[in-house]
Every structure is written in structure tokens, then in C-alpha cells.
Structure 1
Amino acid sequence: MSRRLRVVQWTTGKTGRAAVRGMVGHPVLDLVGCYAHAPDKVGRDVGELCGLDPIGVLATDDVEALVALEPDCVSYMAYRPNFDHLERILESGVNVVSTMYMMAGFGYGEEATHRLRDACLRGGSSLYASGIYPGHAPNVALAASAMCSRIERVSILESLDIAGYANEQMFRAQGFDLPPEDPAAAVACEASCGSFKDQIPVLARELGVRIDRVGFRVEFATANEDTDFGFMTVRKGHIAGFKGTVSGDRDGRSLIECSFVWKLGEDMTPNWPVTHGYIIELDGDPGVRVRLEPQGDHLDGTVTTALPAVNAIPQVCAAPPGIVNLTGLPFVRGAHQLRP
């Protein structure tokens, strides 16, 4: 890098705090500002908000003040997108990286996608969305595909007990604790998989295959007893786990699968095993399996979600204007994170 890059962090929720910790002390990135959604965070030091020593940067809810800092990039990790904010950032010429993968496709609707793209073109900025899955794990699948002379099916599985994440709002939006016979349960789960649906055509395009539909299927596991997780309770007989697949199909056959097993705890029926990570399988010649799993007892999902976006900031700042995907950038890696 010929110069250091100025970055503003947008919100300090679980993923945003991991992003800040990944940027503080970074050899190339300078954290110069932070947007706070919660009023009680305004005026507080960002380091303290993220469990660090003070870093001399105070959080604010003043969008124009943050734009006036002339950052190179905003690390956008809000719970839900504010398209007015995003449009203002992008049209001002500031690049955006985000863990909200649906902004890279049409998960928020065509109008939102065109609005973001047009703001990029007006400002000469780039918008990039990633995370561990969708995002980085599929990129690993693409890298593994280079070893194959023939591929019959690509499957990527996220298999986790997510009880330690403590996000009641997100879990209820996904359909946890609904009765399994409630029609809203499958609808809620499928709606939460919009990012997987946006990932499927990206993989299909990069693998040079045509798909004619994106399918969805899901099974439910129900709690054997009322279970209090501290941040929410799942009632007996209500949904405590999902096992599902978003598939890219052609002529009735599944070619690309983004699958998931999400569980709150273990006391449920059926009690599917979890791998506590990611399994990537390519059926073909040769068949290939790649596992992304923790070396210890726990894979911190906030870090693995935030850092694929943070580590892409230099490439995104150098990218042409518009919405760019992982295949539109030089290979994203943990450059500068290997430190003596």
C-alpha cells in the first residue's frame, strides 16, 4: 500500500465489535470514526465500546460529520440496512464493505440494488459484501474446484449450535420457537436465507454452469422441554433447530447447495449432529472435501463474519465503481494480519 486507508465503522454490535478489534493496530487501516445506532453509545470511545482500551475515536450518530472525515471506506455492519445512509455514503465517493450479503445481490429487492449501484456510479465508489458464509466459505469451494477434472455437485454446509450467540431478535425472525406446524415457520426460515439465494448464482457463474431455478427445503427439530438460554426461552414442542438447503437446480437435479444446520442447544428431536464449522464437498473426479473448523473448542462467528469484509478493504478501495463480488476482486486474504 502506498498510504494508509481511513475507515469508519458503522455500528458496534457483535460483528461490528469484532471488526473494530481487527482494525485497531492494523498496519494499513486507520479507524477514524464510528456510527452509533444506540443513543447511549453516542459520545463514547469506540475502543471502550468494543472491549478495548480507549483509542481516541468517539462514536456519533451524525452521518454528515462522518462523511466529512473523508474516509476511504465504511465498514457497514448494521442489523438492518438504512438505504438513505448507504446512498449518502456511496454517492460521496466512500467505498463500503459489509457483512450484509444480500446487498451484493437482489435479496432486498431490485429497487434497493439499483439504488445502491447508481449511488456507486455517481460517487465513483464500490460496494462489497462478504462474511464467512455466504462469502468466504464459497470462495474456498471455488479454490478447491481447481483440482477437479469433473464436478457433479458442489455442497457447502454450515453446521453450528448457535445458542452462544445470544441474539433473540435474529433467532425469532428466523422462526425459532414457533410451532413446527405454523406456516409462518418455513416462510420465516426461507426469508432468512436470502443471502444464500444470492450466493447460488455467483457460484454458478464462476463455475460456468447454467441453473434454471433456486430451490429451498427445510426440516424442523422441536425442543423436548422448555429451555431457557438466558436471552430467550424455547418452549417444549416448538422449533429449536433447522436443517435446510438452498439449491441451484438444473433439469431437476441439484448442482450447487448451500446447506445449514442451526440448533439452539442439544435437547431436541431429531437431534442432528453438528460439526461446529463448515464442510465443503465437491462430488466428481476427484471428489474433494474441505473442513473449516476451530482449532480449539469454539469458532468465533463474529470474527469469521467480520474479517472477510475487513480484510477486503484494500482491494475494494482499488476496485472499479459499482457493486463488486468476491470474484470481482483479487483474492481476499489476511494480508498484514501475520504479524511478528
Structure 2
Amino acid sequence: MSKLRVVQWTTGKTGTAAVRGLVGHPALELVGCYAYSPEKVGRDVGELAGIAPIGVTATDDVEALLALKPDCVAYMAYRPDFDQLDRILSAGVNIVSTMYMLAGAGYGEDVRDRLAAACERGRSSLYTTGVYPGHMGMTVLAASAMCTRIDRISMLESLDMSGYANERMFRAMSIGLDPDDPAAPGMIEVNCGSFKEQIRVLAQALAIELDEVRFTAEFAAATDDVDFGFMKLEKGQISGFKGVIAGISGGRSVIECRFVWKVGDQMTPNWPVEDGYVLEIEGDPGVQVRLAPIGSAHFASAGPTAMPAINAIPHVVAAAPGIVNHGDLPFVTGRHLLNRENV
């Protein structure tokens, strides 16, 4: 079997997890890597990912990477560069990404139309996924096939994120602000934009017309000064939040993305967490699916976010040109991974 050629785009937390998933993959070959940070340019990508050298050097030369004739780019930048995305797709290179707002008009209809036009020019495809939003949506769709009637779908991510050392992400989500800060609700809603796209994708897959998508959230405050090693919080500052993004149809909530995210346990309210995901379908019959890590594994790590994109690459390369979603691809699985050697 000829391996598909893949370029990894950036090596942050999710990107380095993707590199580890690509190295030694039976169906994929890592041939290049884009480095956002100048200090990473010229370094071996294996070393950037915390594994042994692999003989691939990171670069910030976009044209040199496109000259490698990759079949796909695994695009996992911290923020999207729409000029880069346009250039990659227009060059005929498919993209998988964990930036779920690219699944629809999350960045605006003008961006969606621009990227769709780039796909058409290059005869390429763009697919976005992750763990949640992303693969949890595919899991609930699989469970929905057992039902005679569906009244409501709910997906919950419930995690203590203190083991995920990403201060920049947490600060952008309002962690560390005063709970009464008027900016806090907007900050967390902006960071939940991808869940709005997940609801729209699921509604399309289930043939549901939505009236609107609503957002609600509440905050928890630290009960003491806490030092997590990678960041510090002071007593009274936001240290967690819970909320619901709801797809409304006929005046009723029919598809919900729920979350309980907290950093540590020294907070009030101190909501319990499931340390994973709970997917529920109310209907005939009612269905519940619980996904939780085994042993020392942790779903707040980057691997479960990166791998649904990496494992989708063969399907995306084979897909029709355009922005594709769950309903446009065969079901993504861990194909080729049984008995795979550890990296």
C-alpha cells in the first residue's frame, strides 16, 4: 500500500500529538512540517514532538512545503491564517484540521465562501474534527441509528483541565478574571464557537431545521490562591465554568453541547466531573454512551483531539472537493492501528 504524504502545520500541543500519531503510521508518511515560531525553524520535527529524530526538518517556507506534493496538510495552528489555508487548498492539497469553526461559517460567511472557492480551484477538500466537538458528534450519530424516535440529543464534556498546561488558552477563555467581569461571558462564548458549528453539522446530518443556537454559561471562583506550575490563580478569580450551547427547533432545545470545565478542585461551586464524555439520546429507546479514559490516560490531553483528524486523512483525500463534514465521509475509525508499534 502506497502511503499518503502528509505535512504537519505547526507543532503546538495538538500538533506534536499529531506528529507522534503520524510517525510510523501504516497508511501515512510525514514528509514536512510548518513551524510558526522562528526558533523551531531548522529543527528536527521528532525532537519538537518529544520523540527521537525522524529526519524531517521544520520550516516556515510555505512554497517549499507545497513543492513536496503532499496529499494532505494536518492544519493545527493556534489561530487560522486564511491566506495560508487558501494557498494550500488552491494548490490542490487537502486539509484536515482541529479548528472546528472551519466546518461552516464560524469565521464568517465570507471566509467559508473563500475557502470553498479555493477547494473548487484546487479540487481539494477541507475537513475539520477533533474530540469534542468532532468525534463525539460522530459517536452520537452512530448511537442514533438504534432509535425509532429522537426527542433530544445531549453531549457533555466534563473535565478537570489542570493537567493540560496551556495558560494562554485558559486566559483567553476568561480563567483568572473576576466572575463579575463583563468581558467574561463573551470570552467563553467566543471560545465555544466551534460547538455552535458542531450543532449545525449534527442538525444537517439528522435533517433538523434549526431556528437558532443559544448559549448560556455560569462561572466558579477559586476558594484560595492556587499555583498549578504553569499558571497561578488568586482567590476569587474564575477557575471553572459550565454551560450549554443549544440548537433550538420549534421553540425547543433538540441538540445540546454541554461542558463542565474546571482547573483544579479549589473552587465554588465545585462541580463534580465525569473525567470524560456522556452522550445521551432521549427518545425511543433512550440511549446513553459514556466514554472515559483507562488507567493514567486523560481525555484533556492533545492526542484524542489530534487523532480523529489524522485517522480521517485517507477518507478526506478520497472525498469530493469542498468543505466536507461527518455526513460526507465514511465513518472515521482507527483503521490500520491494530498491533501498531509504539512510537
User: TM-score if structure 1 supplies the norm length?
Assistant: 0.98
Residue 165 of structure 1 pairs with residue 169 of structure 2: no
Q: What CA distance in whole angstroms lies between the structure 2 residues aligned with 1:42 and 1:108? A: 29
CA offsets, 1:14-52, max 9 Å, x none? 111111111111111110000011111111111111111
Q: Deviations over 1:245-290 (max 9, x none)?
A: 0000123321110000000100111000001111000111111100
Q: What's 2:186 paired with? A: 187
**Moved beyond 2 Å, runs of 4+:** none
Alpha-carbon distance between aligned partners in 2 of 1:210 and 1:117, rounded to the nearest angstrom: 23
Separation (CA, whole Å) in 2 of partners of 1:21 and 1:109: 33
Q: Is 1:89 aligned to residue 114 of structure 2?
A: no
List aligned pairs for 1:120-131, cutoff 5 A.
120-131=119-130
The residue aligned with 2:63 is: 64
Name the CA distance, whole Å, in 1 between partners of 2:137 and 2:72: 24
Q: Check whether the contact 1:18–1:302 (CA below 8 A) recurs between aligned residues.
A: yes
Whichever residue aligns with residue 119 of structure 1, its letter is A
Q: How does 1:1-340 map to 2 (within 5 A)?
A: 3-300=2-299, 301-339=301-339
With 309-318 and 144-153 compared, the bigger mean Cα shift is at 144-153
Partner AA of 2:68 in structure 1: L
Post-superposition shift, 1:298? 3.1
Q: Aligned-pair distance for 1:328?
A: 0.7
Deviations 1:219-258 (A, max 9, x none): 1111001111122222211111111000001233211100
Q: Distance in 2 between matches of 1:339 and 1:115?
A: 41
Instruction: Give the AA of the match of 2:66.
Output: V
Are 2:6 and 2:74, in contact at CA under 8 Å, matched by a contact in 1?
yes
Q: Any conservation in 2 of the 1:121–1:321 contact (CA below 8 Å)?
A: yes
Q: Which amino acid aligns with 2:45?
A: V
State the secondary structure of the residue aligned to 1:132: coil
Shift of 1:114: 1.1
How far does the alpha carbon of each residue in 1:280-313 deviate from its partner, in whole angstroms, 9 at most, with x for none? 0011111110011101133243110000000000
Q: State the Cα distance separating 1:209 from its structure 2 match.
A: 1.9
Residue identity opposite 2:313 in structure 1: I
Gaps of 5+ in 1: none
Cα distance between partner residues in 1 of 2:139 and 2:83: 34
Amino acid at match of 2:318: A
Distance 2:199 2:220 in 1: 26
Match of 2:134, as an amino acid? G
- Of 96-105 and 230-239, deviating more is 230-239
Q: TM-score, normalization: structure 2?
A: 0.97
Letter of the 2:18 counterpart: A
Give the % identical residues: 64
Other structure's SS at 1:165 match: coil
Contact 2:44/2:53 (CA < 8 Å) preserved in 1?
yes
Taking the aligned partners of 1:91 and 1:236, their CA distance within structure 2 comes to: 50
What is the alpha-carbon distance in structure 1 between the residues aligned to residue 169 and residue 268 of structure 2?
22
Unaligned runs of 5+ in 2: none
Query: Secondary structure of 1:183's match?
Result: coil
* Alignment: residue pair count: 339
C-alpha separation between the residues in 2 aligned to 1:207 and 1:103?
20
Shift of 1:95: 0.4
Corresponding letter in the other structure for 2:195: F
Native 8 Å contact 1:276 1:298 kept in 2: no
Letter in 2 for 1:35: Y
Check the 8 A contact 2:205/2:326 in 1, yes or no: no
- For residues 184-220 of structure 1, the C-alpha deviation after alignment (integer angstroms, 9 at most, x for no partner) is 1101011101000011111112122222110111111
Is the deviation greater in 244-253 or in 186-195? Answer: 244-253
